[in-house]
Amino acid sequence: MSKISTPNVLLSDHEQLRTEALTRIIAAQIGADGPALGFEQFMDLALYHPDHGYYMSSAEKFGSAGDFVTAPGLTSLFGASIGNQVGQIIDANPEFGVLEYGAGAGQLAVAILRQLEKLESLPRCYEIIEISPLLRDRQMELFAAEIPHLLSLISWLEQCPAEYCGVILANELLDAMPVMRFIKTGQGFAELVVDRKGEELILDQRGLTDGRLDDRFDSLALEVDYRSEVNFTAEAWVSDLAARLGSGAVLLIDYGYSRTEFYHPQRQQGTFLCYFRHSGADDPLRYPGLQDMTAHVDFTAMAEAADEAGLDVSGFTTQANFLLSCGLLEQLELLNGSDDYLDALGPVKQLLLPGGMGETFKVLALTRGLDYPLLGFSTRDIRHTL
């Protein structure tokens, strides 16, 4: 196996060994004569291979020492505001539990539970589904240190129960799911694949004959050479959850757009990106297992999957509007006069401003059996854009 070249970046010996091991595993899956791996399969291995995948092999992803910072790590006021939304639902349906998918470092759960405790609206249970055993450990450590008195409410599940009643939350989960990448050619659609040349991984493309994209972009008239992604994994995840949700709400928070904005003519290269130590890049074959890979979310596709499976699409808005409707500024005001107030000002701006996370991040609510409007969409609901 050839050594991975590392321009401008010094990998530790351990990192070098890990990325080489995963490269060998991926190459072995392709075999000497192919067939090549679809990009989804490659991305799944790069992020979630049980031993060497990005999310599976080190818990140091989040924060300034890792590769990225997410909203719960910026300020606890993010989680406190989401807590207000969860509290509204729990107050109306005290029998509901809360289920968080992909809890990362655990900060969102801590902030939500603290807020629900203040509101005297603690749920009967707070369950977590986390694919990474290392992150599960990190979550447990944080909960034991920060909210030891609430530990009895928290548990981890392998999968969502067959009939779940409650609030399901996912912050930046969908953007971490493996995507299929396509290119519009003169002959129709081709998909990006990962092949091997000897021991080296290379990107290639092959014609798409399975009809998966045939009528998806009918109204969009994509130009030849247009490249982008489709997140079939996330669509299947929404359909599966819809089948399991007896009653309650699914709140999906992520960066993304409605379909017309996602596949805008000017977004010719799509939204796929890799992150390594806070710098973005677009070469997925650089350091498999060491760099994060992500793509924005087509929220129209999520809403369609939910609608087809019988859920109500109950709200869609920007993160800024959602947080403001859930009382983010009132939460900030409560800190006025303390050092925490000054510390929170920058992160709150980042959460709200269009140049930060305020506009690109959206919140989508999918519900079953809820007959009241959700707090977070009370000032602005842009479902008409989906």
Ligand X SMILES: C[S@@+](CC[C@H](N)C(=O)[O-])C[C@H]1O[C@@H](n2cnc3c(N)ncnc32)[C@H](O)[C@@H]1O
- In the complex, the residues that contact ligand X under the rule CB under 6 A are 55, 62, 70, 72, 101-105, 108, 129-132, 135, 171-173, 176
**Shortest Å, Cβ 128 to ligand X:** 9
Query: Which residues 6+ apart lie within 8 Å of 296 measured at CB?
Result: 175, 254, 255, 256, 257, 262, 271, 360
Closer Cβ to ligand X, 350 or 378, answer by number? 350
Minimum CB separation from ligand X for residue 248, in Å?
18
Distance CA 294, CA 135 (A): 18
Nearer CB in complex with ligand X: 84/107:
107
- Least distance (Å) between residue 165 CB and ligand X: 20
Nearest residue (CB) to ligand X, 177 versus 303: 177
Query: At residue 233, what are phi and psi to the nearest 5 degrees?
Result: -60, -45
Tell me whether residue 132 or residue 258 sits nearer to ligand X (CB atom).
Answer: 132
Which value, in Å, is the radius of gyration of the alpha carbons in the chain? 21
Phi, psi of 316 (to 5 degrees): -150, 125
Q: Which is nearer to ligand X, 31 or 133 (CB)?
A: 133
- Cα separation, 250 vs 245, whole angstroms: 9
Question: How far is residue 21's CA from residue 6's CA, in Å, rounded to a whole number?
Answer: 16
Around Cβ 286, how many Cβ atoms within 10 Å? 17
Measured CA to CA in angstroms, residue 33 lies from 22, 25, 37, 198, 367 at distances of: 19, 15, 12, 10, 47
CB of 277 to ligand X, least distance (A): 15
* Selection from 336, 147, 330, 304 nearest residue 216 by Cα: 304
Residue closer to ligand X by CB (options 4, 170) is: 170
The minimum distance between CB 105 and ligand X, in angstroms, equals 6
Contacts (Cβ under 8 Å, ≥6 apart) of 347 = 74, 75, 77, 78
User: Whole-number minimum distance, CB 76 to ligand X, in Å?
Assistant: 12
Greatest CA separation for the chain: 67
Q: What is the smallest separation between the CB atom of 104 and ligand X, expressed in angstroms?
A: 3
Nearer to ligand X, 20 or 130 (CB): 130
